[in-house]
Amino acid sequence: MPLKRTTVYLTADDLRALKATAARKGVSEAELVREGVRLAIARNRAWDEPAGLPVLDSGDPPFAEGSNKAP
């Protein structure tokens, strides 16, 4: 997917920490920002939205109904 350019404003301390972390990890500052954005999106996701995961069918109706609970 093509990347789009945007502007992010950081405090001097955050920018210094971002640069140091990127250098230590050997990745670009932009990659760390993209990772942070993905984490923020995941953490703030509305849980009533589908997660995009496949729905699995066990093929065992009693299992699906929860009748496999321990006594």
3 or 56: which leads in pLDDT: 3
Whether CATH 1.10.1220 fits 7-45: yes
Q: Which two tokens stand for residue 10?
A: 């950081």
What's the pTM?
0.62
pLDDT at 56: 74
Q: Which two tokens stand for residue 51?
A: 């997660």
For the chain, the structural domain boundaries read: 7-45
Q: What does the pLDDT look like over 5-60, one tens digit per residue?
A: 999 999 999 999 999 999 999 999 999 999 999 999 988 877 776 667 777 777 78
